[in-house]
Structure 1
């Protein structure tokens, strides 16, 4: 009887212990999902230009694309500004998304608040995150604050409200020395998190706004829910408390210069050598071949990178960066979208769509390619041609990736110097295998992304 009782107690202990462990695992999974940084560790971000996305140019019409974007492997949707656009000093027929007339309303050309609420729910139902574009540095000239609170704006010596930059004639500069204005801006920030459940923000010209504002604003949002914050900036101090990710602008410019033949692979080595001295490995460095600014003002990827746009797209996934896809890139967007007018994207099948889908799957499944501290550190390799070839490995747990890029318009035989790995790597895009010992032929702008067997 005593033996049976002990066995019963042990069985119950095992049963409840297992239940408790299962509950702990479930809680841990929920906490990870609630933390957008943890949840985004294998993520790709996608920039949505509502105005140009569909013929209708509405939130409702864009919602129909979410299943396709889910299938593409996108994890975070960055929605360009959805707010009413100012009429005073407006540029072009429709004006700039970044000339905000009201921070708490939806542009009627895009739809209604109910439409936006439906968008957020649809995104979340598809297990994706959604962040809004936020313009904290300036407002439209007919924002109510200008008349109601002129002291909230920067003025010149004559007492006249000024633009933040001479060329930005359609917006007025906000005065961050005014605490009441800061409070109102913070309130608007929190509004979309609390009332619409957005997951964070991409913050326009973040370095032009005091860092202590970003830190205090984030603290207020975090009282509602954890958020993900992306800065359009490249200042390390922004990441002490305020931001999780930023623009890798310098890297973008290096890629453009290499594409033009004005720089080479050695410039990338210098860049990645200094990266650890600038940013902690917790910071996501967003890499891109284009975005709304680059596309509209500096040209399409086919103009700037005519022979290498595919190569650099792959590079943004293989390198320790956080990759961005801009609206239409998966369809081979080959025109500069007009910034102040309607200019609908042409949706069609294109090889880049298949490539991005493959890259998103590869990133999701291989922890060595994950973002920030979650992925593997870059270990650069020397080759027989350090100016043409950029070679590196990234390793995380049992996952190791070998990446070779021929950054030139000349076919190259690659020899890795002092390659100590004993593994054989299989190319992620073909049946080609390579062990790092013999030369590997790469076509002009060719690449090899090798995975261990």
Structure 2
């Protein structure tokens, strides 16, 4: 391929932090209006982009043969899976109205926040509004029956020019009518890349600074050639395993280095330890619940390595409650989501201060957002990661201890910029307490 360099992203992106909102778990109200009231809080953290889980009309077909396995296993009996669409052009009344979304976006913009919506284009629901009128919009077998793909949902037929046009106009619609700032695209690599590239071209023409996030992993970096600005990576699952003692910390280095193999030069990745899938599927082993002592060390890695840090729904107050994408105020016996009272606890206060400090550090030290990552060999690869962030005329060393034991590492002659113990001078070696990090210049 001739061009093996990632597309140029909007200039603000390298300094940005993303915050994911799952409306069903974000507030007891579960609506855009109630979430809008929380936007000043999110902005106060230093966050720049808010990403909403799907808010479009979900399919309410009660036939369980068209439900995903985890939807059935959730036990909530809710037919409306937020990732199974009925109408891509309508806001689900569960969350509010068109005017509510417009107000949410306006308030976000007033708080210097950009808003990303979640597009689910690989599949739709079995009673999607267009299936009868446009039978070619879904994949069909040799007998003309609708073909269900992953999760028992009908696959959309991207061989249909009319289906493509319908979805491109959908992308344009929410930019033009609601002033949204971009999209997170569900299972993006299950959708033809040329579809995303044309969609990106069209929304770029409507609004400068559009952002596109691909939910795809290793081997899909070519999506960033023209369509996407950034994509997922496997850090959340690896970080969970490291904190549980199931994998060495060096696995995070291996994951980072593997991203450069066979991908685009300059490809960008989000860095996170949690998201709606992890909090839904792995509640009993959520990192925040079982390994709370180590979460901040893992978050420090995400904020200090290259990439775009990503916070999930209540992570800033160390929330560890169950979040199911299948429960809401109508199914599940009441609100199941963030316990905001945790913000008043010592642990919640400490986490908020930590998040604000990490974001401020990134803004204050250009090497942390613009510099190259250069790995340093760690004397304790099973627990400690060490690397440099090298910018123009500036070099910053980061050491992160992801283990439960204190470690002493050689880092002579460096000024301590940030640590739990405050600033100082590192003379000869540095003591890393359990689950801690050091940021040093020199």
The TM-score bracket by the shorter chain reads 0.7 to 0.9
> Which residue does 1:386 correspond to in 2?
381
Paired position in structure 2 for 1:105: 90
Change (3 A) 1:335 1:344: closer
Indicate the residue corresponding to 1:274 in structure 2: 258
The answer to whether the 8 A contact 2:23-2:30 is kept is yes
Alignment correspondent of 2:4? none
Asked if residue 47 in structure 1 is aligned to residue 32 in structure 2, the reply is no
| Distance in 2 of aligned mates of 1:233 and 1:220 | 22
Question: Is the CA contact (8 Å cut-off) linking 2:396 and 2:440 kept in structure 1?
Answer: yes
1:30-62, Cα deviation, whole Å (9 max, x unpaired) = xxxxx9721222110000111222221111111
8 Å CA contact 2:14–2:308 kept in 1: the answer is no
CA contact (8 A) 2:184 2:212 kept: yes
Q: Cα gap change, 1:206/1:333 in structure 2, threshold over 3 Å: closer, same or farther?
A: same
Tell me whether 1:346 sits opposite 2:330 in the alignment: no
The 1-side partners of 2:323 and 2:433 are apart by 32
1:155-304 residue pairs with structure 2 within 5 A?
155-165=140-150, 168-169=151-152, 171-226=153-208, 227-234=210-217, 235-249=220-234, 251-280=235-264, 282-299=266-283, 300-303=286-289
Q: 1:211-236 CA distances to partner (integer Å, 9 max, x unpaired)?
A: 01100111111121131100000211
Partner of 1:18: none
Deviation at 1:204, TM superposition (A): 0.2
Aligned in 2, Cα 1:321/1:194: closer, same or farther, shift over 3 Å?
Answer: same
Q: Work out whether residues 321 and 339 of structure 2, in 8 Å CA contact, stay in contact via their aligned partners in 1.
A: no
| Corresponding residue for residue 355 of structure 1 | 354
What is the SS of the residue equivalent to 1:130?
strand
More displaced stretch, 151-160 vs 317-326: 151-160
Select 2:422's aligned residue among 431, 435, 440.
431
SS of match in other structure, 1:84? strand
Question: 1:328, 1:345 within 8 Å by CA — same for their partners in 2?
Answer: yes
| Conservation of the 8 A alpha-carbon contact between 2:221 and 2:267 | no
CA contact (8 A) 2:249 2:385 kept: yes
- Three-state SS of the structure 1 residue aligned to 2:117 is strand
Contact 1:428 / 1:451 at 8 angstroms: preserved in 2?
no
**TM-score normalised by structure 2 residue count:** 0.86
Instruction: Give deviations 1:131-165, integer Å, cap 9, x for gaps.
Output: 10011111111111111112211123433213221
Q: Name 1:147's counterpart in structure 2.
A: 132
CA contact 1:120–1:196 (8 Å) conserved in 2: yes
Alpha-carbon distance, 1:451 to partner:
4.3
Whole-angstrom distance in 2 between the partners of 1:306 and 1:381:
27
C-alpha contact 1:50 1:57 (8 A) present in aligned 2: yes
Match of 1:118 among 98, 103, 121: 103
Q: Does 1:136 align with 2:121?
A: yes
- Would you say the 8 A contact 1:295–1:301 is kept in 2? no
Q: Normalized against structure 1, the TM-score is what? A: 0.84
Larger radius of gyration: 1
| 2:206 counterpart SS class | coil
Residue pair 1:190, 1:221 contacting (<8 A) in 2 also? yes
Q: What is the number of residues matched between the two proteins?
A: 405
Cα separation, 2, equivalents of 1:429 and 1:338: 34
Query: Does structure 1 residue 310 correspond to structure 2 residue 291?
Result: no
CA distance in 1, matches of 2:407, 2:301: 18
Q: Secondary structure at the match of 2:43?
A: helix
Q: Match for 1:330 among 305, 310, 316? A: 316
Gaps of at least 5 residues in structure 1 are 1-34
CA distance in 2, matches of 1:53, 1:121: 19
Shift of 1:309: 1.2
Instruction: Tell me which residue corresponds to 2:33.
Output: 60
CA RMSD of aligned residues (A): 2.0
- Please say if residues 407 and 446 of structure 1, whose CA atoms lie closer than 8 Å, have aligned partners that are also in contact: yes
